Structure 1
Amino acid sequence: MNTTTLPHLNSCPPAAFVEALQGVYEHSPWIADRAAAMRPFASVAALKQALQAVVQQASNDERLALLRAHPELAGKAAIAGELTAESTGEQAASGLDRCSLDEYGQLQQLNKDYGDKFGFPFILAVKGPTGRGLTRAAIIATFARRLENSLDAEMAECLRQVHRIAEIRLNALLGVALRFGPQVMDWAETLGAISDGGDGLTCAYMTPSHIRTAARLADWMREAGMTVHIDAVGNVIGRYAAAQPDARVWMTGSHYDTVRNGGKYDGRLGILLPIALVRHLHERGERLPFHLDVVGFAEEEGVRFRSTFLGSSAITGRFDAALLEQRDGDGVTMRSALAAAGHDPSSIPAIARDPASLLGFVEVHIEQGPVLLERGLPVGVVTAIAGSSRYLVELMGVAGHAGTTPMDMRRDAAAAAAEIVLLVEERCGGRGSLVGTVGQLEVPSGSVNVIPGRCRLSLDIRAASDAERLAAVDDILAGIGAICARRGVKEQLWKLVEADAAPCSPRLMDMLGDALLDSGLPRFDLLSGAGHDAMEMARITEVAMLFTRCGNGGISHNPLETMTADDAEVAGEVLLGFLRRLSY
């Protein structure tokens, strides 16, 4: 029986507190010693935050000493049997005690190169995002990738890995049993193996992998205790019914399609986590005073038919029927793709929900950025989803010989494009939520010895305030005109997207914030720079969003996208607390 409990840690003498936590941070009892003064802790999550805060407030020398207290992976200390019991178990869990000669040689070289570059050992929570262990191949690949980091970036990442190691050790010490996180991670892994083909994960609208994913989601919803149907646009909708048939509806969910070669958690976290919560409620026999609809929106990314929010726009009654004639890269219309999957496109208008029947919508989503990661926070409350203006710009100058045309006589389309890139950077820099990006830049049929006669580029301008965004767009478009006129270059612009910002409901934000405080964590608010289905749902009901920390530097839309079972657990606890608060 586990005798170390949170109440015991809160009430025992400081020396006993330090003794109990001696193996949590490698050879660094000073962390527990300083955290003892912060007691009592409202939750295990609050204890983890306190320990982390001690390290954040420590001197740079103390943090370096903490890093240097960790052993190399499969290093000399491991071979000599000189590791702590915790490190021995962790390295063994990933098979680092069973390396082949080639793997051992790779690790030794990586250890040397890393130590020479950074001056401290490579640190990785080898038990990984789920706590069950990474493969040796994954460890070596991560080692090699992080060797390319700068010193500051790598030191910050190592400290994050130290905290992840401590989190796993603390869970073991206190006998913490995660109710939601491991299941969500397992389900995400299962869906991640269903792809349109090739390496990585691609799940585009109404492809075989998309249809299989929908079916799997429907199965899990039924097993959790929901009634399920897949509607005419492909949304997978599970209802956890209230006791009263005429109750109103609370909705939650996200999208299950992906970008090409995307991540496993983008969108899908917001479907899988509510399914896990419903299963928990169903097992307890607990009903909510409203119908809870968990929605796997069929399409949000726009990969196959270059049209976004197909699933959520059908629910809001804003689906554009003209899109049914849109063709994919193989010439297949959306109408044909839906029919081939067994859907009736003529039934899409009937999907629209009556706003009067809805209580609201909440979406849980991986952050897709580094803000929570850099602050050491597992979750955050979204204040608004930024509005977006996107354009395609084509510049037409005059192609000419690179060697014979004087610099002051050129009409160089690429030079104009370069100036436009800098204009966007200057106009959008240092202005709060405003951001501007030129994500595509192309010189068609360019040649090394020819002055570019044509150039194409994209513009993406976003901000939480529509007025701020539109003012920036006006300035940038005027600037493009001035640059082109001065350089003798013609311009042509196409507007691709104009999406208004979607503020989250202050009332619902406060309820999420209170649920966070109940879990022992601080409330932190942040903007969503990316678009989400909540943006569309805001047209017919109040919305809220909860972001979950994104690992690997906050990277998303990428196979390196990652999160942890513990962070999914925190998000689940907060979402459950939020739903119960709605019940009051």
Structure 2
Amino acid sequence: MALTLDQLNAATPADAARMLDGLYEHSPWIAEAAIAQRPFRSLAHLKHTMVQVLDQAGREAQLALIRAHPELAGKAMVSNTLTAESTHEQSKAGLTQCTPAEFAQIQQLNADYNAKFGFPFILAVRGPRGTGLNKREIIDTFERRLHHHPDYELRECLRNIHRIVEIRLNDKFGAEPALGNLVWDLHERLAEFSDPGFAEKGQLTVTYLTDAHRAAAQRIAQDMREAGFDEVAIDAVGNVVGRYHASQPGARTLLTGSHYDTVRNGGKYDGRLGIFTPLACVRELARQGRRLPFHFEVVGFAEEEGQRYKATFLGSGALMNDFHPEWLEQKDADGITMREAMQHAGLPATLEAIGALRRDPGAYLGFVEVHIEQGPVLNGLDLPLGIVTSINGGVRYLCEVIGMASHAGTTPMNQRRDAATAVAELALYLEQRAARDGDSVGTIGILQVPGGSTNVVPGRCQFTLDLRAPTDAQRDAMVADVLAELAIICERRGVRHTVEETMRAAAAPSAPAWQQRWEHAVDALGVPLYRMPSGAGHDAMKLHEVMPQAMLFVRGQNAGISHNPLESTTSDDMQLAVEAFQRLLNQLASDTP
């Protein structure tokens, strides 16, 4: 029979320890230390308490825990000396039915891993959804992680141990993340669509108004109808718009959503998590026959990434009458204009139709967005959710340093006018200057020597600057310092430079009242509050220009990597995101007359 939190909270320390036996491999002390901090408000609270116990225990205790785990498909499995929990998990992943070749490969990987790190490879083989990774996924992960730095890999092992414990804890308490599983499955179904040239390689790429993009829009529309939305339509720029009606006419509207286009060879959750999380909320409202005192509008924005056309935030911008007429004449790599792509997709492709999409900000309560973090912070802290305080403002520049190309063998070091070393010096300064603020970031993403040669001192060096910070003032102070340092470096080295601004976006601080709603929702789950800026841009930046906005981040796996096929999150974290959104809706309902 499944345990309950009430039973755990009321039990004696000895009985509570027995209830939690088997969570951490041969290491009952972690659960015992956590029990001393009862009562637990939720399973999420219990999980994080155990995470903190291990985090505070120190490196030697952490290494001992890792070494208490068996190798995957190792000697303990062969000799039947695995714990019952490990036997179940390795069996579920098919590791007890390896072919001789697979077994030999895993044994070699085990040996190589132990030789490099001095502890066994730990992987939560039941995976992000809890249903099990297949052997190919396990072996590929094993091979990839062999190349990690030892300190990073120790943290990765601990993160996987916590995931193993999370699944074991769910089993003990009969807790199934049903809505998280739903959201997970919707992502998997949508990932079936990918552009030609990528689909054949198993890569996910969905760019604006391609056949895959249009099929994805139709799938989202179908999912919305099945969830119980009252109105579902695809608008004049390809946004998928679902509306769940209020309990009475004339009510204002809460707007949410995110984008469904992707970068090339990207991940499954960037943007799309912000569509399917509120969809799950609507599904539950419809299932309960419940109406809110406000309309609930969920938009799958057609374009945010600017991959096929240089028209970033096209989908969300269209709702604010921020569609640039010249975009219609832009051509993609195949020479197809946006107007032609729209017409091929059955869209009007007229400024009149696009202009009609403009929303009246006065009719809206605000905009909220759920998004995968796209960074390593929450993953490193072992926290499932984060409260966004501001979306960073950013400026981008295209720059060039011009020196003098000369013979690499005959030009003395003190007489060179090397353009590349000037930029290299700036790159080191940028790294130090951005770090000085703590939450500013600066990147030279492109650095190239046109026509460079092994035996020629670089006469030209082209590079980009991407400078971001949570406030415009903080960003502008960093910009001023970096550009001033560039001038100083060039003057000292006898080279000159050019700087062209290519993009400027204002910071988008979260509206305090809406940020507090997310905070109250997360706190009600028993999850610690963690406030953080967003370094990436989001559709919420556009909506911020006309209405209050606030965002919720969901932890990413694999060190939070995004814009990458390894982008991932768990159905348990998705479940918490859905529950937080439900609580926000309930708060807003109680506050709305």
- Is 2:213 the partner of 1:210? yes
Of residues 455-464 and 97-106 in structure 1, the stretch that sits farther from structure 2 once superposed is: 97-106
> Which residue is equivalent to 2:150?
151
Q: Does 1:256 align with 2:252?
A: no
2:238 is aligned, of 231, 234, 238, to 234
Q: 1:423 and 1:56, CA in 2 relative to 1: closer, same or farther beyond 3 A?
A: closer
| Matched letter for residue 216 of structure 1 | R
Higher alpha-carbon deviation: 222-231 or 441-450: 441-450
For 2:482 and 2:35, the matched residues in 1 are separated by 54
Match of 1:272 among 273, 276, 294: 276
Please list, as runs of the form range in 1=range in 2, the aligned pairs for 1:55-134 lying within 5 A after superposition. Answer: 55-134=54-133
Q: Using the alignment, how far apart are the partners of 1:331 and 1:127 within structure 2?
A: 46
Spell out, residue by residue over 1:236-268, the C-alpha distance to the aligned partner (whole angstroms, 9 max, x if none): 110111121211110111111111111110111
**Equivalent position amino acid for 1:559 in 2:** P
Partner of 1:11: 10
Distance 2:498 2:436 in 1: 28
Does structure 1 retain, via aligned residues, the 8 Å contact 2:419–2:460?
A: yes
- How far apart are the structure 1 equivalents of 2:116 and 2:404? 48
Q: Which residue of 1 aligns with 2:317?
A: 313
Shift of 1:491: 2.3
* CA distance, structure 2, for counterparts of residue 541 and residue 132 of structure 1: 41
- The match for 1:45 is 44
What is the root-mean-square deviation in Å for CA atoms of aligned residues? 1.3
CA distance in 2, matches of 1:211, 1:91: 40
**What are the superposed Cα offsets for residues 82-109 of structure 1, whole Å, 9 maximum, x if unpaired?**
1111111111111111112221111101
Identity %: 54
Q: How far apart are the structure 1 equivalents of 2:166 and 2:383?
A: 13
Q: Counterparts in 2 of 1:122-521, with a 5 A limit?
A: 122-197=121-196, 198=198, 199=201, 200-226=203-229, 227-346=231-350, 347-521=353-527
Q: What is the count of residue pairs matched by the alignment? A: 583
Separation (CA, whole Å) in 1 of partners of 2:88 and 2:26: 16
Of the structure 1 ranges 421-430 and 104-113, higher mean CA displacement relative to structure 2 is found in: 421-430
Report the Cα distance in structure 1 between the residues aligned to 2:530 and 2:295, rounded to whole angstroms.
Answer: 29
Hey, what's the Cα distance between the residues in 2 that align with 1:202 and 1:330? 16
Query: How many Å apart are 1:412 and its aligned residue?
Result: 2.1
Partner SS state of residue 394, structure 1: strand
Distance 2:181 2:19 in 1: 26
Q: Which residue identity does 1:450 align to in structure 2?
A: V
| 1:216-235 Cα distance to aligned partner (Å, 9 max, x none) | 10000011111111111111
Question: 481-490 vs 336-345, which deviates more?
Answer: 481-490
Is 1:24 the counterpart of 2:23 in the alignment?
A: yes
| 1:3 CA displacement | 4.1
What's the secondary structure of 1:359's corresponding residue?
A: strand
* 1:118/1:498 CA distance change after superposition, 3 Å: same
Shift of 1:397: 2.6
| CA–CA distance in structure 2, aligned partners of residues 517 and 420 of structure 1 | 43
Q: Deviations over 1:474-503 (max 9, x none)?
A: 222222233333334332222111000000
1:549 and 2:548 aligned: no
Q: Distance in 1 between matches of 2:132 and 2:241?
A: 34
CA shift digits 1:115-135 (9 cap, x unpaired): 122222111000000000111
CA distance in 1, matches of 2:150, 2:488: 42
Matched residue type, 2:16: F
**Partners of 2:446 and 2:273 in 1: how far apart?**
29
Residue 332 (structure 1) shift: 1.6
CA spacing shift, 1:325–1:489, aligned 2, 3 Å: farther
Structure 1 moving runs of 4+ over 4 Å: none
* Rounded Cα–Cα distance in structure 2 between residues aligned with 1:123 and 1:426: 35
Deviation at 1:560, TM superposition (A): 0.8
| 3-state secondary structure, aligned to 2:437 | coil
- 1:399 positional shift: 2.2
Alpha-carbon shift at residue 278 of structure 1 (Å)? 0.8
SS at match of 2:379: helix
* Cα shift readout 1:338-368 (whole Å, capped 9, x = no counterpart): 1111111221111110010000111000001
Cα contact 2:2–2:172 (8 A) shared by 1: no
Aligned equivalents of 2:137, 2:310: Cα separation in 1: 34
CA–CA distance in structure 1, aligned partners of residues 154 and 483 of structure 2: 41
Deviations 1:343-395 (A, max 9, x none): 11221111110010000111000001111111111001100000000011123
Instruction: Tell me, yes or no, if the aligned pair for 2:2 and 2:174 is still in contact at 8 Å.
Output: no
| Alpha-carbon spacing, 1:3–1:234, altered in 2? closer, same or farther (3 Å) | closer
1:76 and 1:546 mapped to 2: Cα distance?
Answer: 44
CA distance in 2, matches of 1:502, 1:120: 45
Unaligned runs of 5+ in 1: none
Unpaired runs of at least 5, structure 2? none
